[in-house]
Structure 1
Amino acid sequence: MTAPGGRAAHDAVVIGAGPNGLVAANLLADAGWRVLVVEAAPEPGGAVRSDRGVHPDYVNDLFSSFYPLAVASPALRRLRLERWGLTWRHAPAVLAHPLPDGRCAVLHRDAERTAASLDALAPGDGEAWLRLVARWDRLAPHLVDALLGPFPPVRRGAALLRRLLPPAEGLRLLRGLALPARRLGDEEFTGPGGPLLLTGSALHADLTPESAGSGAFGWLLTMLGQRHGWPVPAGGAGRLTDALTRRFTALGGEVRCGAPVARIDVRDGRCTGVRLADGERVPARRAVLADVPAPALYGGLVDWAHLPARLREDVRRFEWDHPTFKVDWALTRPIPWAAPGAAAGGTVHLAPDRDHLTRYAADLAQGRVPAEPFVILGQMTTADPGRSPAGTESAWAYTHLPRAAHRATPGELADRLEAAVERFAPGFRDTVAARRVLTPADLRARNPSLEHGTLGGGTAAPHQQLVFRPVPGTGRPGTPVAGLYLASSSAHPGGGVHGACGANAARAALHAARWRTGRDRGGRNSAWPSGRS
């Protein structure tokens, strides 16, 4: 099959050069496929990009910053991006949660140091933390592989089950994974430190302290921090994108930016390529992988005429996660924390107690802008000294907003967020040399896939996970159109920079192509390429 002008058609076209799209493209290229990535934005990266837009001497990450899932992800580890220029940096401490009285819960990469921090807040809580770590160590890496791999996790699940014999142990784990973060904290700890680390981490997603499964999410993030840290790419988030792109193009792949896709071509129920906004048709001989939100794919890039009628109603019920409101700063000096322990944290959570987190989540659920937000703050120069001049700090903070429309202005929201920092760091406002305010609309303008300014590709709540992601009855990257695969965070396993959604889509495309080739030849194709590392 040839494209117009006599060029050979690409084996696959990947729509979107975010981390999932680039991981998918790399895996297909490893298998010897000729792959084209088309990206609407002027540069690749999606939500993994950095710039100097706040101040020319400061590097700020536009969207995501800390990547515990990336360093734990089997898909990304396989790519060996360190060979392509990626270097990870760690702050002295992973996570800090200061208290109003000047004490501080601190998560270190050394479990004994974390335990000592929690023991200082409540004797015995250090031992409780070490029990959670031991539980994690017994299950990892099988648990991570099962969570990030294709669904259902047959092989990985079997390996995990072997770790859970006798059955009673497995039932206890399943109960623990279903617990709300508040209940998990109450069962394991007597003081405030451990529960705040768990619950604050759970609220990185659009979960609440009382929602089922939020304890598992908090445990996952804190344990990844305990064993892997929450690292950042040296030089900015964009360096991760640079490494993915360099590796892909070295394999012969092509990335075309400023090339938005207008529609996906379908003939006789099979995807045949894409049509760009400028009218160019780009054929795809084997597959199209879409790193776009599910609602942008179904009824958007693919016309409803090519899709089952029931899918329209399912997509109508698709639930987004909460919009994000973010402020970036160039600071003249480090943040003057009242709690000294907060100075070492790459990430700092700001909420006086768990009741504050519950009120914040309740406000969001009721469509109100929280009067006192829960703030997640990143100290980027603390984590990566090259982000700003010596003695200064490149920093950001974000909070979530309700999905419903509201009347608060960007200036009011930014002031409210800065006031929350000031309460824990008196004099903070005096350190601000420059700031950039990014509303949900601003985030979407910089990345059209961040619909409503959401970063998770859809809610992380249980009703839209596993076989319910993105709609009931799926859980796999395949779509009703043959040769078309959903490779975005709208697919299992969901949000986060781990590349698993793209990797799962690439594996599905490779498997389907292998099966079709074998069927066409009347049997298994033993010559299928094993891939290049």
Structure 2
Amino acid sequence: MTSPGSSGSERADAIVVGAGHNGLVAANLLADAGWDVLVLEATQVPGGAVRSAEVTAPGYLSDLYSSFYPLGYASPVLRELELQRHGLVWRHAPDVLAHLFPDGRAALLNRDPTVTAASLETFAPGDGDRWLSAYDEWRQVAGQMIDLITTPFPPVLGGLGLLRQLRVGGTLRLARRMVLPVRRLGEELFAGAGGPALLSGCALHTDLSPEEAGSGVYGWLLAMLGQQVGWPVPAGGAQKITDALVARLAERGGRVVYGARVERVLTARGRAVGVRTAGGTLWRARRAVLADVPAPALYLDLVGAAVLPPRLVADLEHFRWDGSTLKVDWALSAPMPWTNRELATAGTVHLGADLGGLIGYAAALARGELPRDPFLLLGQMSVADPSHSPPGTESLWSYTHLPFRRDWRAEEVLGHLERMETVLEAAAPGFRSLVVGRHVAGPAELEEANPSLVGGALGGGTAAPYQQLFLRPIPGLGRADTPVDRLFLASASAHPGGGVHGAPGANAARAALARDRLVTGALYHRAVAGAQSAIYR
């Protein structure tokens, strides 16, 4: 909307650092409450990891980072913002997901449960009914589970709702499911290979191994959301989510300043009072500063260790990033020539490994090695939304995980790209001959375009249980509040973590509003400060 000045000082009720989707959600909620809100974005464009552009060939639109949005579609945070009033329209591929096995078979997830069940039945008699039973179990708890994900910790209302719904025994069994490795969960739910592959492939959208505790809940959540609401995409690209958030904020008087890289959060007497951007411009915050940046960047770079509890600084040494990422976009002159034509109608395809291969792939990453046979997550964007490319063509992307590093050599990235394209050529002979444009984004390129994607890590920190809930981003309250009064963490580094659902931004906005209440704000602050003092003493 505007560009920063080179000197002087501007004021607003709230300064939001970063115009990623969480920062924009927080800004919108504060503007709804009547606050004057100013968003400072380091780059020249909004959206963070929710952006689109033509980067492969003219007429081919690519979603540069995130793409399919089951959590965004189901999120009450985004739903309550009514972004459809600002141009957001959702589209669905005919099939939600296909997992291709090395032997050429595919397990399909379709929004019609009977279609999914029929696919899984081909892997083992009875697995169709087992899928339908698992989906019935999900539907009993779906509303409460989404509330648990998108509300501040501790999730009292959602937890009580689950307890009323499932009673004590059912709640304990659900708790067990939430800590199971996805491999074990698949074995318990299904007799054949199809169901476990769907669950495990979904779990590997995170940085967790199929053998790791907690991976089961991610696989179960994404698969069951796919069954319930699909994995939709915005018509016209992921950028439409960002555009809607920016337009909504502008309608309410909020402002976004681009090219404004925050260098320091300003504090006085233990309270955040504003920020300083590159070039020396000061931006004063009357009521709050909210930061949509990774936790290490906020605490160590913007605030500084000198004004933080030493124990918090020490805990940050154990903060773990999720894996690095290699993301490739292709412009194809025709649809993918899959040998198994069942894949032609799936928006998302998982390929390159069966369950044993997924375990080996994750083990190589854990050893810090590049897997010889990479597991690919692939999006057929024109299948999901034909506006992504000219008629009869395909805008395709794929990404694969790498061990977390910030020093990748170009030859390593290009070598792994060759492995990715070899996997695709084997599954779709003739793929290479259809490529009319390609865009490669390794870890360095991802971070350069979006500084919050440190080392190409997409999730704001690992999804492992030891860095979730009250342990996210470090042991604490699991809330947006920081030890600096009126400073709030609004990024995916905060509970509940990665994904495009807006919950970290919404939680930060709610915390800022609670702290600012005339009568109860001081009581809120004393309670939070007292708890943090006990944790970080």
Q: TM-score with structure 2 length normalisation?
A: 0.94
Partners of 2:8 and 2:281 within 8 A in 1: no
Q: Structure 1 residues 518, 383: CA separation in 2 closer, same or farther (over 3 Å shift)?
A: closer
Runs (5+) with no aligned partner, structure 2: 524-537
User: Residue 332 of structure 1 corresponds to which residue in structure 2?
Assistant: 333
User: Residue 253 of structure 1 corresponds to which residue in structure 2?
Assistant: 254
Pick aligned residue for 1:475 from 473, 478, 484: 478
* Residue 160 of structure 1: how far off its partner (Å): 1.4
Deviations, residues 90-140 of structure 1 (Å, cap 9, x unaligned): 111110012233321110011111111111222211111111101110001
Deviations, residues 288-321 of structure 1 (Å, cap 9, x unaligned): 0000000001121002121101111111110000
Give 3-state SS (helix, strand or coil) of 1:215's partner. Answer: helix
Q: Is 1:70 equivalent to 2:72 in the alignment?
A: yes
Q: Is 1:387 equivalent to 2:385 in the alignment?
A: no
User: Residue 425 of structure 1 corresponds to which residue in structure 2?
Assistant: 428
The letter of the residue matching 1:411 is L
Q: Is 1:105 equivalent to 2:107 in the alignment?
A: yes
* Residue 409 of structure 1: how far off its partner (Å): 2.5
The letter of the residue matching 1:380 is M
Q: What percentage of residue pairs aligned between the two structures are identical?
A: 58
Partners of 1:102 and 1:340 within 8 A in 2: no
Q: Structure 1 residues 308, 121: CA separation in 2 closer, same or farther (over 3 Å shift)?
A: same
Give 3-state SS (helix, strand or coil) of 1:164's partner. Answer: helix
User: Residue 396 of structure 1 corresponds to which residue in structure 2?
Assistant: 397
User: Residue 526 of structure 1 corresponds to which residue in structure 2?
Assistant: none
Aligned pairs for 1:185-200 (under 5 A) are 185-200=186-201
Give 3-state SS (helix, strand or coil) of 2:122's partner. Answer: helix
* Residue 7 of structure 1: how far off its partner (Å): 8.2
User: Residue 26 of structure 1 corresponds to which residue in structure 2?
Assistant: 28
Q: Is 1:448 equivalent to 2:451 in the alignment?
A: yes
Partners of 1:347 and 1:377 within 8 A in 2: yes
Alpha-carbon distance in structure 2 between the residues aligned to 1:293 and 1:411: 28
User: Residue 527 of structure 2 corresponds to which residue in structure 1?
Assistant: none
Q: Structure 1 residues 127, 505: CA separation in 2 closer, same or farther (over 3 Å shift)?
A: same
Alpha-carbon distance in structure 1 between the residues aligned to 2:38 and 2:103: 55
Give 3-state SS (helix, strand or coil) of 1:301's partner. Answer: helix
Alpha-carbon distance in structure 1 between the residues aligned to 2:8 and 2:51: 36
Deviations, residues 367-416 of structure 1 (Å, cap 9, x unaligned): 10000001000000000001001110000000011124566522211111
User: Residue 290 of structure 2 corresponds to which residue in structure 1?
Assistant: 289
User: How many residues are paired up?
Assistant: 517
Alpha-carbon distance in structure 1 between the residues aligned to 2:42 and 2:383: 34
Aligned pairs for 1:177-256 (under 5 A) are 177-256=178-257
The letter of the residue matching 2:497 is G
Partners of 1:479 and 1:485 within 8 A in 2: yes
Aligned pairs for 1:86-165 (under 5 A) are 86-165=88-167
* Residue 192 of structure 1: how far off its partner (Å): 1.1
Q: TM-score with structure 1 length normalisation?
A: 0.95
Runs (5+) with no aligned partner, structure 1: 521-533
User: Residue 484 of structure 1 corresponds to which residue in structure 2?
Assistant: 487
Alpha-carbon distance in structure 2 between the residues aligned to 1:354 and 1:470: 30
User: Residue 409 of structure 1 corresponds to which residue in structure 2?
Assistant: 412
Per mean C-alpha deviation after superposition, the further-off stretch among 97-106 and 364-373 is: 97-106
Alpha-carbon distance in structure 1 between the residues aligned to 2:194 and 2:49: 31
Partners of 1:368 and 1:406 within 8 A in 2: no
The letter of the residue matching 1:378 is G
Aligned pairs for 1:249-398 (under 5 A) are 249-398=250-399
User: Residue 462 of structure 2 corresponds to which residue in structure 1?
Assistant: 459
Alpha-carbon distance in structure 2 between the residues aligned to 1:349 and 1:516: 53
Per mean C-alpha deviation after superposition, the further-off stretch among 363-372 and 101-110 is: 101-110
CA RMSD of superposed structures (Å) = 1.7
Alpha-carbon distance in structure 1 between the residues aligned to 2:364 and 2:381: 29
Give 3-state SS (helix, strand or coil) of 2:379's partner. Answer: strand
